[in-house]
């Protein structure tokens, strides 16, 4: 079962699992502000069970987790700005609902294994680079605090109740089926939309370093964790093959696309207040424990993403 299964990462994971012959149930609320999209499962819609439910509904969740072997728990509110504007919805989805999903597992299916999608945002402004899993946790926004609670509930239920869990702290993840309508999922979505439509986009700041994981690599990490007991109770960073400043990323994107242009401007004030500065991950623990390494270099991943949106953009705007 994949919560958030009609979203960006969830639907790519669903494709990977269906190809491997796994029986897959997708649970998603399809709230328009989030990344869920029926087109994300075009071509596999007859090979998955889709249940339009909200993870905040604990009775639905209690029913749905009963007979599953694996739970990929990916449903989330992803926008940092929305979490600041409406902290209670973020709390309900990223924190409270996570607890009730785990309670449902404890009551109805303690044998299930869960994989939780957490975020690098909870490290806040890095004190050193690359950031490893032992870096202090100093969230700079409401979303990161709620995601931190969500992941820690998973670890607690692993340790106290033996409900096996692996947590991934994802960095910027990109690829086909990401949300490009606006910046709610990531700024890169808007950039990709703009270069595809050949209209200008804005780069805020521009010198900050980031790393990027191609979605197939993120999915592979989750599959590796799902099939290995050594990952139980562990937290892993994911990362990318390189770190890059945002201005260079914008140059690379426009060069690969052969279209689009950008302007550099100051961060808007409200965004600057929750900005983390430079970040890139040390993912050596995932390498040594899971045998995971990012396999798609940034330029190749961006090319694949651009070619997807050149073909399918109307389904995403
Ligand atoms: N994409 C990234 O760069 C990134 C980075 C860090 C963490 N993550 C985490 O990975 C997970 C997946 O993110 P994504 O990028 O695929 O985003 P996404 O928005 O495409 O996917 C999330 C899905 O969850 C669904 N959802 C949201 N609230 C729900 C609810 N209450 N009940 C049921 N479904 C609900 C949405 O409809 C959406 O389909 C999220 O938990 C996110 O916090 C993503």
Ligand 1, atom 41: nearest CA belongs to which residue?
Answer: 76
| SS3 label, residue 218 | helix
Query: For the chain, first and last CA: distance in Å?
Result: 27
Confidence of residue 266 (pLDDT cuts 50, 70, 90): very high
Return the pLDDT at 186. 85
Distance of alpha carbon 259 from alpha carbon 192, whole angstroms: 10
Q: Is the pLDDT of residue 272 over 90?
A: no
Asked if 165 and 158 touch (Cβ cutoff 8 Å), the reply is: yes
Ligand 1 neighbours (beta carbon < 6 A) = 3-4, 6-10, 28-31, 34-36, 54-56, 74-78, 93, 117, 119, 170, 172-173, 179, 185-186
Distance of alpha carbon 24 from alpha carbon 14, whole angstroms: 7
Confidence of residue 139 (pLDDT cuts 50, 70, 90): very high
CA proximity to 120, closest of 94, 144, 150, 96: 144
Ligand 1, atom 1: nearest CA belongs to which residue?
Answer: 173
- Helix ranges (H only) for the chain are 8-19, 58-64, 80-85, 87-90, 97-108, 142-161, 187-197, 215-226, 246-257, 269-272, 284-290, 298-312
Segment 62-108, tens digit of pLDDT:
999 999 999 999 999 999 999 999 999 999 999 999 999 999 999 99
Asked if 109 and 65 touch (Cβ cutoff 8 Å), the reply is: yes
The rounded Å distance from CA 242 to ligand 1 centre is 24
DSSP classification of residue 131: B
Segment 45-59, tens digit of pLDDT:
999 999 999 999 999
Return the pLDDT at 182. 86
Distance of alpha carbon 149 from alpha carbon 94, whole angstroms: 8
Ligand 1, atom 25: nearest CA belongs to which residue?
Answer: 4
CA proximity to 222, closest of 167, 148, 295: 167
Tokens representing 222?
């989750």
Asked if 185 and 10 touch (Cβ cutoff 8 Å), the reply is: no
Return the pLDDT at 55. 98
CA 192-198-202 angle, 5° bins: 60
Specify the ligand 1 atom closest to the Cα of 37: 39
Distance of alpha carbon 49 from alpha carbon 110, whole angstroms: 22
Q: What is the pTM of this model?
A: 0.97
Return the pLDDT at 269. 86
Specify the ligand 1 atom closest to the Cα of 78: 43
Segment 164-207, tens digit of pLDDT:
999 999 999 999 999 999 888 789 999 999 999 999 999 999 99
The rounded Å distance from CA 92 to ligand 1 centre is 14
Distance of alpha carbon 211 from alpha carbon 266, whole angstroms: 21
Tokens representing 74?
């990916």
CA distances from 123 to 31, 39, 127, 228, 236 (A): 28, 33, 9, 26, 13
| SS3 label, residue 96 | helix
Pocket test for ligand 1, best of 34, 86, 181 (most atoms within 8 A of CB): 34
Return the pLDDT at 69. 98
């Amino acid at each position: 079962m994949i919560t958030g299964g009609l979203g960006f990462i969830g639907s790519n994971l669903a494709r990977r699992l269906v190809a491997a012959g796994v029986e897959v149930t997708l649970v998603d609320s399809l709230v328009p502000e989030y990344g869920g999209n029926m087109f994300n499962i075009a071509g596999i819609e007859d090979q998955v069970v889709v249940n339009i439910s909200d993870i905040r509904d604990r009775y639905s969740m209690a029913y749905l987790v009963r007979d599953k072997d694996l739970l990929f728990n990916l449903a989330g509110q992803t926008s940092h700005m929305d979490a600041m504007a409406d902290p209670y919805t973020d709390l309900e989805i990223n924190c409270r609902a996570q607890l009730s999903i785990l309670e449902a597992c404890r009551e109805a299916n303690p044998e299930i294994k869960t994989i939780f999608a957490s975020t690098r945002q909870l490290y806040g402004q890095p004190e050193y680079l690359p950031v490893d899993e032992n870096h202090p946790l100093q969230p700079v926004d409401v979303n990161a605090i709620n995601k931190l609670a969500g992941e820690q509930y998973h670890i607690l239920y692993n340790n106290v109740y033996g409900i096996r869990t692996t947590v991934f702290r994802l960095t910027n993840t990109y690829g086909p089926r990401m949300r490009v309508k606006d910046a709610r999922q990531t700024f890169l979505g808007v950039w990709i939309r703009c270069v595809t439509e050949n209209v200008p986009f804005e780069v805020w700041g521009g010198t900050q370093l980031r790393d990027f994981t191609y979605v197939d690599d993120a999915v592979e990490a989750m599959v590796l964790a799902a099939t290995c007991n050594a990952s139980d109770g562990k937290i892993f960073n994911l990362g990318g093959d390189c770190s890059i400043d945002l201005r260079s990323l914008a140059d690379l994107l426009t060069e690969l696309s052969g279209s689009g242009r950008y302007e550099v401007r100051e961060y808007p004030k409200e965004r600057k207040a929750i900005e983390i500065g430079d970040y890139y991950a040390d993912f050596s623990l995932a390498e040594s424990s899971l045998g995971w390494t990012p396999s798609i270099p940034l330029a190749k991943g961006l090319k694949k993403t651009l070619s997807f949106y050149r073909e399918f953009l109307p389904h995403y705007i």
